[in-house]
Every structure is written in C-alpha cells, then in structure tokens.
Amino acid sequence: MSLGDVDADGDLDAFVTNYGQPNKVWLNDGKGNFTDSQQALGNSYSHGMSLGDVDADGDLDVFVANYRNQPNKVWLNDGSGKFADSQQVLVNSNSIDVSLGDVDGDGDLDAFVANYGLNRVWLNYDGKGKFADSQQVLGNSNSIDVSLGDVDGDGDLDAFVANQNQPNKVWLNDGKGNFTDSQQALGNSNSYGVSLADVDGDGDLDAFVANYGQPNQVWLNDGDGYFTDSQQALGNSKSHGMSLGDLDGDGDLDAFVANNGPNRVWLNDGKGKFIDSQQALGNSSSHRVSLGDLDGDSDLDAFVANNGRNKVWLNNLDQYTNYPPTDLALSNNTIDENEPGNSVVGTFSTTDFEDNTFTYQLVSGDGDTDNSAFTIDGDQLKIKESPDYETQSNYSIRVATTDSVGGNFQKVFTIDVKVPPTDLALRSTTITIDESEPANSVVGTFSTIDPDDHTFTYELVSGEGDTDNSAFTVDGDQLQIKDSPDYDVQSTYSIRVATTDSVGGTFQKVFTINVNDVNYPPTNLIASNTTINENVAAKSVVGTFSTTDIDDNTFTYQLVSGDGDTDNSAFTIDGDQLQIKDSPNYEAQSTYSIRVATTDSVGGTFQQVFTINVNDINEPPTDLILTSNIIAIHENVPANSVVGTLSSSDASTDETFTYQFVSGNGDTDNSAFTIDGEQLKIKESPDHETKSTYSIRVETTDSVGGTFQKVFTVKVNNLVE
C-alpha cells in the first residue's frame, strides 16, 4: 500500500492492493479517519504498487504489481481520486513489488518491477502513462521488494532489490535506464522489504532491510553504491515491510516495521544505530506500512496493511518528553560465603532506549530489608561485611536507576550466599567408550557433591584440559560425544566441565575419555567373477576374493561347511584366488554352489554363498558323414542323381547344419557336384572309362558358426555294357 493525496483535498489517502480481491482506495478526512471510496479496482492477485503522476496531468496514478502470471496494471486518476483502468496489459509475470521513478532521464516516471523471477524495467515512452518493456532481464532471484535511489552519487536512480532466501542485489543505472549488476551479494536472508534513506547522516543513501523470521538489517553505503552490513540484528520477527521517517522528531530517520505479529518501531541514534522503542503495536499479520501525517498534527503516523482489517496508528509525539528506564539488571546476584568485606557482588546495567547515562542508589520501599549491608560504588554493588551462609543465606535490597533527565526505575534484588560444590564426578575420573559408537552416544552421567544444594547444571568450560571440548555436548547431566569415535584417529579426549548449583556456586574438573580399540569383523565378501567357460583347463582361476572391513586390511579365505556348500569339493582357494579343480562341462553341470569364509587379522569372520555359473560354449561339429567315407555310384546314372546324404556329428544333440563345398586339399572335383540341402548330387552322368573316381572337400557348419571339413572319394562303378 502507499499514501498520497489522491483526491487533491490536502491530506493523505491510502491505495491498498489486495491478493485475490479488488484493490481499494481509502479517503482521509484530514483527521486520520479513512472512508472506503467504494471503488473495486480489478480482481487480480495484487502484491505491490507505487503512486506517481505517470500521465503528467497533475494527480497521482498507480502502477500495480500482480502475481500468479497476471499482467501488471496502470490505473489513471481523474484528479478526484477516481481511478480508471488504462487497459494496458504489462506482461503476465509473477510480480511482487514496483517502484516508480525517472530511470531514463526523460522527465517522466518509469517502473522498476521486482518479480519472483526476472526483474523488469518498464519505460514510460510517451510521457502520458503508456509503458513499454525495456527488454532488460535483471537477475533471476525471488525478488520481493525494490527501492529506487541514487546510491552511487552519479545523478540517476539505481535499484536496491530485496530477495527471498538469496542475496539482495544492487542494480546500477547508466542514466538511460539501463541497469547493470553491481556484483554485490548482500546477505542471504529471507528479505521481504527494503527502504533507501540516509540513516547515518553521511549524505548518501543507506538501506534498511526487513527480513522474515530473521533479524532486520541495516546496510551502510560508502557513497559509491557499495554497501556494508552494519552488524545490527534488529529483532527476530517475521517482518514483511517497513517504512523510514522521523518518528520521534529528533531530525533523523527511524523505522516502522510491519510484522506477522506485533509491529515494531526502531529509533535511530542519528548515526544509523537503531534501538527498539519497546512498542508492540497490534498482533496482526501485517504486510506493508506507509508513513505520513494522517491527522494533521505535523508528526508521522502509520497506515498498516494487514491480512484482515487494516490499521491506522497515530503518533503522539507531542505527549512525550522523556522515556524513563524500562529495566534494571544486576550482572550477578550470588556471592560465595567468606568473601572479604567490600567484595563486588555484581554490576548494574539499565535498559533505556534513549539514554546512556545512569546513576544507581539503594532506596527505601518494599524489599529494602538489607540495604544497610551493602554499598553502591558507581555501577558496582558491594557487600560491607564478609558473608556467612549459616548466619544469613540471602539478602533483599531495593535499588533505583536514574537517567540523565531524572527518569527513574526501581527493582528489588535477592542476593544469595552460596557454598559452592566441592566435587564433580562422571562415574569415575577416567571414562571409556567403544570406538564406532553412534554419534550423540551417552558417555556418562555427571553428579555433584555439594553440602547445601541438590540442583545443578553442567557445561563444558574453557581452561586447562579443555582440548577436546568441541567434540562433546552436555544434555542435562549427560555427557554425549558428537561424532562416532575412531580409536585409530583419536584414542583419548580431554575435557573440562563445570558444575553450577542453584545459586551460582561452581566447581570445575578435567576428565579424560579413553576410546576402546574394538575389532569389527568383515561386513561383506565379494568375488570379482562368478562365471567360467566350459572346457577351461583344470585349476583355472574363477575370480579373486575381496573383503569389506572398516578396521582391517589383512584377510584369509577358505571353503566352509554350511548352507550352500554343495560343491565346495569341486574348488580350491589359493590365497585370495578361487580355482576349479577339473575342467567344467556345461552339459554335465551348469552351476556350482560354494560357501566361503573371510577372516580378518584378529579372527573376525564373514561367510557368503556364491553361485558359480558355467558358460555354455559352442563346440563345433566333430565329424561329417556321407553314407560312408568312400562312396560308389554306377556309371551312366542320370545327371543330378543323388550320390548320398550328408550328416554331422556334434556334441549338441539339437543342432542344425548347413553344407557346402570348400577349397583345400582334396577339392579336385568339387565343380562336378552340387549340394542340395543335405544331399550330394552329381551334375553330369558319370562314365567309368572316362573317370573312375572323384575327390571333393565338404564343410558342415552348425547353427552358431562351428565348422568341420572332410574330403570324400566318390567311386564310379564299371557296368557291363
């Protein structure tokens, strides 16, 4: 939301954007009382907006940033606070906020839009409220808010963008509306709002950033547009938005922060240091706030946009002249018995958001019973006489703190005399824990010897013997180790622990924690290979064993009895190698089951069953047969007569074969014959007197390419003619 005199009656009105409902205009009566103008402007998922005279007609118009991929809108004012849609559809973006300013130096108002994704700059190209996309794609962050201002002192408007769960960014303008990333990554908070202003009085623009669920931050400018974290952690609320202005009339800029919970006012000391004013304003889910003099009394009031009813907070600055102290603290309210007289009990401090100078005194009133036993020296409380627990175990005093202009706050303190603990035990002074115990395992339980107390707290403290404090935590009275211990990395730890009784008495002691060297057996056994081809030679290596063991590197392997040991006798182990005793035959046995144990150097074992698979290797034909090795055919039989039928011998009984003539010894008469399937045929009718024998060379091939060749002699029988 934003404040501005939209109806030209001299007071500030409010334009409020709504999410999923029409945007609203609330008109001010000049006394801070707002009335609904009854305008329902759009029905988009609106997030942010900025007021400005975009069409140069002398009144305030509005640029609205819409979310959920809906176009941004420009609403033009008729001068009386009535707004009309300009009918511009400015890209379907996930827009969260917008800031108006003359970024290209042409005298009209342009728009820098913070998107949940790519930020954009819309230029007012005709000076009459018509916007065009500058085609700049600025970053790709989850941007929530943007503030324009000349951060680098070069006379044009730059942009500070607040990002969600990503570093905030500063975009520098070249004076023509072209923005360049300054390469600053400012924090990594959940930033929801930002406002630029000179908060430290050095003449340049700084940034106050509102963070959600994290402390708000102030980033100080060096004058050249480079920002440094002021190291202020301002609250830890769920802050959505904020606005800067001089709320307390002291000439510097303070901050009103809108929270999901009570809103807060942070007062500036003039040097950019902000102090909580201790005001908790409402308890709504507030999203945005704008400051302005709403009731005409010359101070800044606040209009807060809530998830629900919006609120107006009026500033009553003229009613206050001094804020007195709000609290008084004593750094310590216990003292050991037998401490000497005039010993310091503790130091006083005061909470006062506008003063730093205080005096302290013992005063009369409820709780002043033992004032006479003490003195105050500056801000130090001292006891006059040495205390004795048996005589008096506690004292009651009443103290006043007074600020530099007389503001006063009083408080009663109880001073306890304590007898500190005399010993601290953890089962025994030397404690042991087995290595590899889980992280956060309990090492032991503390106990304290104290003659007058039974309630104690324990903590790791600095001092001699605290070498390994960081490796442990204390939960109640239990000592826990953060990470699983490893004897080989660290075998002993030294820690220093303090026990404190209910009134602050302490006793410290050093403990040594020893780690037991525990053997952990192997956890897995692996064979590099579990297959072997049939027909390999006896004693062939099947594979190599390896072992998984977190604390050992030396292992032996052996075949052992148990489930899965069926075929142990068929194998031997040589070192880490598994060997098969006899040449395997797939047709005789295709798988073997063995059980193997691995043993580490101290006897830890692990057993595993392995299945060894025999690969079925193709064996080529072993013989080729043509009725008989010497074939006879009568002379004068017709051409293409069948001489005989070919058949093959093969270890595989279900094989198929093909036959062909091949070159080689004995192939002399291959050309005189043909093979049809498995039949050998003679091409021409034979004549004994012409040729009485033939020699051929034939090859048989099985289904996977195994071959066998053979020479046959074909004899021609001589018939009586």
What's the confidence (pLDDT) of residue 236? 80
393 has which bridge partners? none
Domain that holds residue 282: 141-313
How do residues 31-84 score in pLDDT, each as one tens digit? 999 999 999 998 768 889 999 999 999 999 999 988 888 898 999 999 999 999
The total of structural domains in the chain comes to 5
Is the domain of 278 the same as that of 149? yes
Instruction: Please calculate the CA angle 318-321-325 and round it to the nearest 5 degrees.
Output: 135
Is the domain of 535 the same as that of 457? no
The first and second tokens of residue 298, run together, are 């010359």
What's the confidence (pLDDT) of residue 47? 87
Is the domain of 583 the same as that of 499? no
What's the confidence (pLDDT) of residue 321? 44
How far apart CA 122 and CA 108 sit, in angstroms, is 12
Is the domain of 189 the same as that of 307? yes
Domain boundary among 397, 418, 439: 418
Is the domain of 493 the same as that of 575? no
What's the confidence (pLDDT) of residue 421? 77
What's the confidence (pLDDT) of residue 320? 45
Is the domain of 445 the same as that of 395? no
Buried b (16+ CB within 10 A) or exposed e, 288-302: bbbbbbbbeeebbbb
Q: pTM score, two decimals?
A: 0.49
Is the domain of 282 the same as that of 410? no
Is the domain of 186 the same as that of 287? yes
CATH number for the domain harbouring residue 481: 2.60.40.60
- Give Cα separations from 179 to 102, 158, 194 (angstroms): 13, 8, 18
Q: In what order do the strands lie in the sheet with 555-559?
A: 531-533, 605-615, 591-600, 555-559
Could you count the other beta carbons within 10 Å of the beta carbon of residue 705?
Answer: 8
Instruction: Spell out, as residue ranges, where the chain has pLDDT lower than 50.
Output: 320-321, 429
Domain boundary among 280, 313, 346: 313
Is the domain of 570 the same as that of 674? no
Q: What is the CA radius of gyration of the chain?
A: 48
Is the domain of 164 the same as that of 211? yes
Domain boundary among 387, 418, 449: 418
